[in-house]
Chains A and B, each alone.
Chain A
Amino acid sequence: MSETKKFLYVNRKAPYGTIYALEALEVVLIGAAFEQDVSLAFLDDGVFQLTKGQNTNGIGIKNFSPTFRALGDFEVTKLFVEKESLEERGLTADDLQEIMYEDEDDDWEEKPSIKLVSRAEMADVMADQDVVLSF
């Protein structure tokens, strides 16, 4: 399998209320081993997956939000988050976790994985893919 394809994982659902967010993350983690060109899109309620301060002790479901911070180790470094979706929900970038990766092409400098994009830019990201998987 020498061919590299552009994979986009589209996250439009909030965590915990349904399992889609967690099982999407499981696909991303397994998919990392296939060395494709991977991007993640967070829009609509999907932006809630990345927020700080999640504490699931009272609901007995595993808090998987720290896993997003480990994505850099799997070379998953492009997390596109839609500004309009944040704004509609009264959120800003400050409400999101800090997610960093070390850029091997730039002397392992730490860089943010989250890229805030406008709705129009998100549409461009979506239109630039080979495979779009929606959750």
Chain B
Amino acid sequence: MKIGVVVSEGPYTHQAADSAYHFVKAVLDSGHEVPRVFFYHDGVNVSSRLTIPPQDERHIQNNWTNLAKEHEIDLVVCIAAAQRRGLLDANEANRQGKDANNIADGFRISGLGQLIEMGIQTDRLVTFGD
């Protein structure tokens, strides 16, 4: 079965990004698929590669990056929500005349259409948020 996942709350402040991570791992361990995870609202903040948690804490962004690499999961960050909150990939930074970009490996910025498409193409949709 294909299960789509939405993360709609930021890391560390809220447990949503952690819950979603454990859920996705369990889905994969059960032999089901997670073709895509969509990050919306403050959930887009998970994708910042400038994240530096204390060494004895989990690294939420790294965890997602590694999981995506290992299992070829499409991590999509909503462009409208990301731009509001200061998250840009290299292309967008260039296009908007900004001097930096901060999207981590494994994440890509795209439109809300990707969320709807995920709803259409998966068998179940689960949202973690506030």
A34 near B120: Cβ-Cβ < 8 Å: yes
Contacts A7-B119, A31-B112, A33-B113 hold; do A23 and B127 have CB atoms under 8 A apart? no
Stretch at the interface among A79-87, A116-124, A127-135: A127-135
Give the residues in chain A near B129, CB-CB below 8 Å: 134
Q: Whole-angstrom distance from the CB of B121 to the nearest CB of chain A?
A: 8
Query: What is the distance, in angstroms, from A104's C-beta to the closest C-beta of chain B?
Result: 22
CB of B127 within 8 A of CB of A133, answer yes
Contact B113 A30 (CB under 8 A): yes
Main secondary structure of the interface of B (DSSP, over half): helix
Kindly state whether residue B27 has any CB partner on chain A within 8 Å: no
* Chain B residues in the interface with A (C-beta under 8 A): 6, 8, 40-41, 80-81, 111-113, 115-117, 119-121, 125, 127, 129
- Asked whether B116 lies within 8 Å of A31 as measured between CB atoms, the reply is yes
- Knowing that A23-B41, A33-B113 touch, tell me 19 more A-B residue pairs with CB under 8 angstroms: A1-B117, A1-B120, A1-B121, A20-B41, A23-B40, A23-B80, A23-B81, A27-B40, A30-B116, A31-B112, A31-B113, A31-B115, A34-B116, A34-B120, A131-B125, A133-B115, A133-B125, A133-B127, A135-B8
Q: Which residue of B6, B80, B119, B127 is within 8 Å of A5 (Cβ)?
A: B119
Contacts A19-B41, A20-B41, A23-B41; A30 near B112 (Cβ below 8 A): yes
**A residues in contact with B120, CB < 8 Å:** 1, 3, 5, 34, 36, 131
In angstroms, how far is the closest chain A Cβ from the Cβ of B23? 16
Provide the main secondary structure of the chain A interface: mixed
* Cβ distance A4 to chain B, nearest Cβ, rounded Å: 9
Closest B residue, CB atoms, query A27: B112
Q: B115: which A residues are within 8 A, CB to CB?
A: 27, 31, 133
In the complex, A98 has a CB within 8 A of chain B: no
A-B contact pairs, 25 of them (CB 8 A): A1-B120, A3-B120, A5-B119, A5-B120, A7-B119, A23-B81, A26-B80, A26-B112, A27-B40, A27-B112, A27-B115, A30-B113, A30-B116, A31-B112, A34-B120, A36-B116, A36-B119, A36-B120, A131-B119, A131-B125, A132-B125, A133-B6, A133-B115, A133-B127, A134-B127
By beta carbon, the residue of chain A nearest B129 is: A134
State A23–B44 Cα separation when bound (angstroms). Answer: 13
For the complex of A and B, list the 6 residue pairs with the smallest distance between their C-beta atoms, beginning with the closest.
A30-B112, A131-B119, A31-B116, A34-B116, A131-B125, A27-B112
